Every structure is written in C-alpha cells, then in structure tokens.
Amino acid sequence: MQHICVIFLTFAKLFANTVGCSMEAAIHSNTWRRWRNFALLLACAVLLTGCGAFRSAPDSGPAPESARKVVKTAYTQMGKKYRPGGASPQKGFDCSGLIWWAYNQNGVKVPRITTDQAHTGQQVPLSSARQGDILVFRTSSGPRGLHTGIYAGGNSFIHSPRRGENVRVESLDVPYWRNKLIAVRRVVY
C-alpha cells in the first residue's frame, strides 16, 4: 500500500509541474483525475503481474543429487515392516514416516503427516515427475484417506503400503495406483 501512495504522490507532483500550478490545485482538476486513475490502474497491473513473476516453473530436468540420495536412502529400507505411526528403521514405517525419515536423513525437512505432505513443496504434473518427488494417492475417503510414496524414476515409486506389508517398490503402470494418484509434489529443486 505504501508503494501505491508513493506512486500517487509522484504522479501528483509530476502533473502539477507539467501544468504549472500548485499540487493542491492539480489534485482537484479533472485532468488530474484521469491521470490518477491511469496511474492507479498501471500500479495495480504492475503489482498483479509481479505476484506471479517470481514463481518459477518446476524444473522437469534430471533430479538433483539431493533428490536421488533421498530415493537411495528409501531403498535401504526395502523389506522393513509397515507400522502405524512408524518413522524409523528400528520401529518400522508408515507411508509418511518413510518419506519423512528418508528426506530427514538427507537434511531436507518435510512434514511428518500425510495430509501435510500432500501440500508441501510445489505441485508438478506426472509427466514432469522426477526422482525424489512425493506422490500423493487418494486411497479412501476422508482426510485420513491419503497415501504417499517417493517417486523412484522409471514410472515406479517406493512406499510403505499398509499393515502386514513391507516397504517395497510399485509401478505406476498398475491401474490401481495410476487411478488413485492425485498429486505429485516437488520438495527438492
């Protein structure tokens, strides 16, 4: 808001100097009102354009080394038992616990809970997915009906599926997983 006031006063001074009258007289003239409206419109356009100008498009190139390390770290837990609330090799993992642990081991902070992981980072299309991206699946209704995994490349992901199962790799070519996928989240750029 302060920027708009500065722009407003700058235009008022410029207009007053151009017309050759006092700033107060310039502000009350009809010509000034046109200039003021134009200046406000221009300021709004600049501000609105600027809001999106600094958000870069997700990089769909090769995954950075830190993202590849997250995948390698998750692979070290292949075969570990699923455990509700688990987030360590000693206790086992639930789906979000595996993601939290693998990222944390590589110095990257991500939320611990699936619903929070579903909103972390930046969303990217599946066609741009790369190693280390978090895949979000809608496996049942309600807020607890989400499941997450780590994209491993080659249309596959690693996850801790459910009670009685172990950490493993799945293919996104399997219709069940392809149909349940609702988001790909990029945390490491």
The answer to whether 22 touches 32, Cβ cutoff 8 Å, is: no
Taking the C-alpha atoms of residue 9 and residue 32, their distance in angstroms, rounded to an integer, is 12
Catalytic pick among 3, 5, 44, 159: 159
The answer to whether 70 touches 150, Cβ cutoff 8 Å, is: yes
Catalytic pick among 3, 28, 44, 95: 95
Catalytic pick among 3, 5, 21, 147: 147
132-168 in b/e burial notation, b at 16+ Cβ within 10 A?
bbbbbbeeeeeeeebbbbbbbbeebbbbbbeeeeebb
Q: Is 3 a catalytic site residue?
A: no
Active site residue ranges: 95, 147, 159
